[in-house]
Amino acid sequence: MQEEVENRTLTLVVSGTKFTGRLLKAAISKYMAHCKEKKLQKKRSRDAPVTPHGKQTVKQLIGQNQGISNIEITDPSIKEFEKIARKYGVDYAVKKDRSSSPPKYLIFFKGRDADALTAAFTEYTSKKVKKAEKTERPSVLAKLSQFKEMVKNAVVDRTKRKELER
């Protein structure tokens, strides 16, 4: 294993009419400059601050200096909103307000994301309305069991009548 580490090879392709020592020196210096530039570029990319996207803390959202707004939600199923917000690419932060008896959720978002957030909220509310309508309808199995009970309880007159029709 030690030999593999020590014996590294490099393939350098140089095109020229006459191969001289100067040409070799110029090719190697160009390669070394290229490696140095690559290393500097990698270091710069590591040092650059990464701006978070999607769900983040309120502190991170404020740190982006773009102005924030908030909306209040009382519904405890906040996970559905998070899925929709991720779909629309909204940068947001969720804060739970426990001061009231049913806890409220404050959703902070950037000022520039207002249009995307309104679209996300319209989709979220339409999902909630559909879910509420669905729960109002009785299930088919409940209806079926109700009809079964009605049929069981119904008294059928099973006496035979013999009437002669003319």
Local confidence pLDDT in tens for the 166 residues of the chain: 667 767 777 777 888 888 888 988 999 999 999 999 999 888 887 776 767 777 888 888 888 877 787 888 877 777 787 888 888 888 888 888 888 888 888 888 876 777 887 888 888 888 888 887 777 777 889 889 989 988 888 766 667 777 777 6
Contact 94, 107 (CB under 8 A): yes
| Token digits of residue 4 | 């593999």
DSSP 111: G
Question: Which domains are seen in the chain, by residue range?
Answer: 58-147 (3.30.70)
pLDDT at 166: 66
In 3D space, the residue among 124, 76, 81, 126 whose CA is nearest the CA of residue 98 turns out to be 76
Between the two ends of the chain, the Cα-to-Cα distance in Å is 113
Q: Which residues contact 105 (CB under 8 A, 6 or more apart)?
A: 72, 73, 74, 75, 78, 94, 95, 96, 97
The pTM of the full predicted model, rounded to 2 decimals, is: 0.47
Contact 80, 124 (CB under 8 A): yes
C-alpha dist (Å) from residue 83 to 136, 140, 153, 163: 25, 30, 49, 72
